[in-house]
Amino acid sequence: MAIFEGAGVALVTPFHDDYTVNYEKLEELIEMQIAGGTDAIIIVGSTGEPSTLSIPDHLEVVKRCVEIVNHRIPIIAGTGSNSTETAIGTTTSAEKLGVDGCLLVTPYYNKATQNGLVAHFTKVASEVKIPLILYNVPSRTGLNMLPETVAKLVKTVPNIVGIKDASGNIAQTARMMNYCDGQLDLYSGNDDCITAIMALGGKGVISVLSNIAPAQTKEMVMSYLRGDVKKSAQMQLEAMPLIDALFCEVNPIPVKGAMNIMGMGVGPLRSPLSELEPQHVELMRRELERYGLL
């Protein structure tokens, strides 16, 4: 059974003006997501700025999320690393904190061969019992996990159950789903590909858009799952200008900017990420108004 089906949010990590984690705001954001019908919280994934969180802060954010959600919806913690030992440590710690699953990005910067990826993910998975979702995002990591590699992992490692596919390559996604013979839970990792991914057997999305539009994102997914493909496609197309604005700079700069424009008070970004450029602030404001969020 899939960890979740529907719309999961890749939640931002809110900060105070002094760049410490704002746990009161974190609780507010989580409650807003649950009220909006979000099906899962993906905490400290790429959108949650894990690269600039210390490991103690990283795990404290996970701990607080588990406490706030209190089993109402699944929690998936981002615990990937370009160090296998670090990924093992963070993943085992997250399991002990009570998450429902973990999201493991492919190793970045030092990269790996495809055989190295198999060894890396197999070793991490062997240390825990909870289900794991792979995360393929070549634009951020400089490394593409091939369909054959995903199929090998899914067929040989029992608790590797899914993938967040942010490859942007629909043909590759289709090939991967063919190779996996129905054993892979597929989630769109790109908000501009939600309906297309659903057409290839996707279970849903792990979404940046959900930070500002949880109900709309969920309806896009659920319309498809209910068989109303036309409505899902229409919602996808209508959201495209806002989605483009949300990626006008590297994620999560634009989404945090959008949330602050909307008065959600999620605070600044930790360096080296910078605040949204002035011209993009105006773009974001226009698209939020057009989409009915301002």
Residue numbers annotated as active site: 135, 164
What sign does the CA torsion over 122, 124, 128, 129 have?
negative
What are the CA-CA distances from residue 228 to residues 26, 94, 198, 222, 291 (Å)?
Answer: 34, 37, 12, 9, 21
Is 197 in contact with 205 (CB distance < 8 Å)? Answer: yes
Report the 10 Å Cβ neighbour count for 119. Answer: 13
Q: How remote is the C-alpha of 192 from its chain's centroid?
A: 14
Is 287 in contact with 239 (CB distance < 8 Å)? Answer: no
- Closest by CA to 121, choosing from 94, 81, 148, 93, is 81
Backbone angles phi, psi at 75, to 5 degrees: -120, 130
